[in-house]
Structure 1
Amino acid sequence: MARTNLSGKVLPPSRLAHVVLRTPESKPMLEFYKIFLGARVVAGNDSISFLTYDDEHHRIAIMEVPDCGDKNRMTAGLDHISFTFETLDDLLVAYQQRKAHGIVPIWCVNHGPTTSMYYQDPDGNVLETQVDNLSTVEESMEYMASPEFAENPIGIDFDPEDLIKRLESGEPEKELKKRPNIGPRDFGKIPLLNLPIPAREKSGIVKNGA
């Protein structure tokens, strides 16, 4: 072990490992996440289950706590969890596959740095699926430091079905991911801020996508 410099910057972790979700009903949540992420259960019992969809041993854990209360959107805490796709085509394919299972987004928005779709799970936890719009992290950071992004850090809404048609017609991904400049946008009118808690179904699918 190298001598530790206690006065310098704290050594950052190599990556974010996993998220643990607390729920009063684990079965609907497990079914939802298996579909939503194309995930599999690595291990589990009646109290907790561990899921993965990539090379990590688990990315999501679902912990059943029967007496925990319903989600309250007006309390401080985590707002959403985000998952990245490599291409716009991949993002839209996953959208179509989820839609076939009755899972549809609650908000689709081009933020500028990303093209994003937001969903919610049976407990009302918000999930983002996204694709980077720019080629490098440096380009994304430069855009986020621009006057255009400062004026409107929210973005502009889009229709995923329209995006699919344009992509299938041969329009380049690079052009489809460009965010039009619409000027300022009211932060208080973001759909996620006033989102109702979803009704559960036995399948774990969220009714009407909300």
Structure 2
Amino acid sequence: MPFPTPELAHVVYRTKRLQEMLDWYAHVFGGEIVYRNDALVFVTYGEAHHRFAFADLNVIAPEASDAEHNPVGVDHVAYDVPDLATLLASYRELKDKGIEPYWCVNHGMSASLYYADPDGNQMEFSVDCFGSAQECIDYFRSGVLNRNPVGVEFDPEEWLVELELGVKPEELFRIDDTAPVSPIRGRLERIAG
């Protein structure tokens, strides 16, 4: 199995009833907001840095109907892997089988590979960029997401080579603010303003 024992990390929802969703998840899970801007909200409970994220379709795609490109519901389900070496070894194994991610992004608190199954269901496999969930929460609360709410894309082939050459994961995780803006990041930056 390419991703040995991946653990469920978080679920991202698209919604047109953001406040109702936040209230519901606060009541049911005791959720606490760790980051919020006009378009995105990250919520945690327990020991994780975030368990849920909500994308407000009223901000992101106000003109879209539920039947169009951005319907309400689950956007993607995320799974944690133990370390960067495992994430990249799994990437290589899946690529050898013709399965490649559609998006590779370093979010700052985690680095992720996004895949879609044959039906188009989206999933994220990620590794934390810090040694503890609290450090990830501190990253959320630091304000850096106000400048860059999604992160920067990376090339897993380049990271594989660098890791094999002995570059430490902490160095690869460092976000370069001069990196090209990803299309998804760019759209959210315009919204978050």
- TM-score strictly above 0.5: yes
Sort the Cα spacing of 1:72 and 1:80 in 2 relative to 1 into closer, same or farther, 3 A.
farther
CA distance in 2 between counterparts of 1:92 and 1:183 reads: 21
Greater C-alpha radius of gyration: 1
Q: Which protein has the bigger helix share?
A: 2
Aligned match of 2:151: 155
Q: Please state which structure has a larger fraction of its residues in strand.
A: 2
The match for 2:184 among 187, 190, 197 is 190
> Which one-letter code corresponds to 1:101 in the other structure?
K
SS of structure 2 residue aligned to 1:175: helix
Deviation at 1:176, TM superposition (A): 1.2
Which of these residues, 71, 84, 87, is aligned with residue 83 of structure 2? Answer: 87
Give aligned-pair identity as a percent. 36
Contact 2:152/2:179, CA 8 A, preserved across alignment: no
Unaligned runs of 5+ in 1: 1-8, 14-70, 194-210
Deviations 1:78-107 (A, max 9, x none): 000111111100000110111111100101
**Counterpart pick for 1:138 among 134, 151, 155:** 134
- List runs of 5+ in structure 2 lacking aligned partners: 1-25, 31-66, 188-193
| Map 1:1-210 → 2, pairs under 5 A | 12=29, 73-182=69-178, 189-190=183-184
Shift in Å, 1:10: 5.3
TM-score (norm 2): 0.58
Shift of 1:145: 1.1
* Displacement after TM superposition at 1:73 (Å): 3.5
